[in-house]
Structure 1
Amino acid sequence: MEKTPVNLDAYRELTGKVIGCAMQVHRVLGTGFQEVIYQRALAIELEQCGVVAQRELEMPIYYRQKEIGSRRVDFLVEETVLVELKALSALNEAHHAQIINYLEAYRLPIGLLINFGASSLEFKRFVKTRPIY
């Protein structure tokens, strides 16, 4: 099957808004809280900015086009962007692999990994490079 690359420009504005909201939460709360506190604050901030997001959404997981289970995602923004939150002192390759795997399993085109635990907000965009089936 032919690869259909994801157009990052189409998502840049939306992911930029989410990152901006996360920066505001980090500015106000700083570090040291549990992930759920940042999640609740980000939900408020996203709503204030008019970004449609579902929090703690139960999503099906697929393997070879078959649903094999489900898991809750931190946020699904405008039904296309997966947002995974962390509150850790540092991110590592395992966290990057986790979100890449989530994009594959959930059949989503783009994801954001946001870490509130560092002294400065850490974030990274991930784009699905394989076709979405």
Structure 2
Amino acid sequence: MTKTQITQLSYDIVGCAIKVHKELGPGLLESVYEMCLAYELREKGFLVDQQISTKISYGKIEIETPLKVDLLVNNTIVIEIKTVESLLPVHQAQLMTYMKILKKPQGILINFYTDNITKSMIPLINEYFSKLPE
């Protein structure tokens, strides 16, 4: 994929999140928003994986962990869903770690406990994104 394609995919994901938020409003469990967002993304024709178990390579071993990635869209963008009063640096660190473990170029941190999704969501990129063609 190119940077332009990933940026467009990110834009489409945010559009779906806005639709879910407008329909449901704030105050529900993360799992509800996750299911609804996955539904919207699939309706648009995207490949969506939910609750992906992550493995961590450490030294010469690979460790099965209890860590689960909320959503992975088109095997490219990691989505971490929150329903908190305010996003904290630890939430961004969590998403960056998932992106690194899965070797994915972009992630989006979406907080559904808000009045405005676009003002509170945080897109993140990493070294995998910078290596992609325009």
TM-score band, normalised by shorter chain: 0.7 to 0.9
Task: Check conservation: 2:55, 2:62, Cα contact below 8 A.
Answer: yes
Task: Check conservation: 1:62, 1:69, Cα contact below 8 A.
Answer: no
Q: TM-score, normalized by length of structure 2? A: 0.83
Amino acid of the structure 2 residue aligned with 1:25? V
48, 53, 57: which one pairs with 2:48? 53
Q: 1:20 to 1:63 in 2, by over 3 A?
A: farther
Amino acid of the structure 2 residue aligned with 1:96? Q
Question: Higher helix proportion, which one?
Answer: 2
Q: 1:45 to 1:56 in 2, by over 3 A?
A: same
Give the structure 2 partner of residue 3 of structure 1: none
CA distance in 1, matches of 2:123, 2:61: 27
- Unaligned ranges ≥5, structure 2: none
- Larger mean CA deviation between 120-129 and 25-34 belongs to 120-129
1:19 aligns with 2:14: yes
User: Number of residue pairs matched?
Assistant: 127
- Unaligned ranges ≥5, structure 1: 1-5
Task: Check conservation: 1:80, 1:109, Cα contact below 8 A.
Answer: yes
Q: CA deviation at 1:8?
A: 3.4
CA distance in 2, matches of 1:109, 1:83: 12
- Larger mean CA deviation between 100-109 and 43-52 belongs to 100-109
Q: CA deviation at 1:17?
A: 0.8
Q: 1:65 to 1:112 in 2, by over 3 A?
A: farther
1:126 aligns with 2:121: no
Amino acid of the structure 1 residue aligned with 2:108? L
Q: CA RMSD in A?
A: 2.2
CA offset digits 1:15-68 (Å, max 9, x no partner): 111110000000000000010110111111111111111111223223458522
Q: CA deviation at 1:98?
A: 1.3
CA distance in 1, matches of 2:4, 2:122: 15
1:84 aligns with 2:80: yes
Give the structure 2 partner of residue 28 of structure 1: 23
Give the structure 2 partner of residue 109 of structure 1: 105
